[in-house]
Homo-oligomer: A and B are copies of this chain.
Amino acid sequence: MGKQVTEMLKGVLEGIVLAILSGRSAYGYEITAWLREQGFSDIAEGTVYALLIRVEQRGLVDVAKVPSEKGPPRKVYSLNARGRDHLEEFWRTWSFLTERLDKLREGGK
């Protein structure tokens, strides 16, 4: 990926992670691995952990500590009601953006 994606991710990555958590609970390491599989090849681990801490502090997710067979205990995150609201708001904003961009793309040629 290029630097361009990096900048575009600002404000979007949080929505992506919340969207992942809306499907099922997950922990940081897992989310990072999943993102890499999906083509977000160079998202730094630290970025995901920092983001998770941020959304936790804002009360958008619940956390449970679950022991792992191989390594330190996992911090499993799940979306709560507030997080679900926030995610909906994210999708609305995202739709707004994509609509404008689609129009621009057509109009611009």
A50 to chain B, nearest CB (A): 14
Looking at the complex, which one of B8, B23, B90 makes contact with A107 (CB distance below 8 Å)? B23
Looking at the complex, which one of B2, B90, B93 makes contact with A93 (CB distance below 8 Å)? B2
A51 to chain B, nearest CB (A): 12
**Number of A interface residues in the complex (CB < 8 A):** 34
Point out the residues of chain B lying under 8 angstroms from A7, CB to CB.
10-11
Residue pair B108, A23 in contact (C-beta under 8 Å): yes
Q: Write the A1-42 contact mask toward B (1 if CB under 8 angstroms, else 0).
A: 010111111111001100110110000000000000011100
**Chain A interface residues toward B at CB < 8 A:** 2, 4-12, 15-16, 19-20, 22-23, 38-40, 89-91, 93-94, 96-98, 100-101, 104-105, 107-109
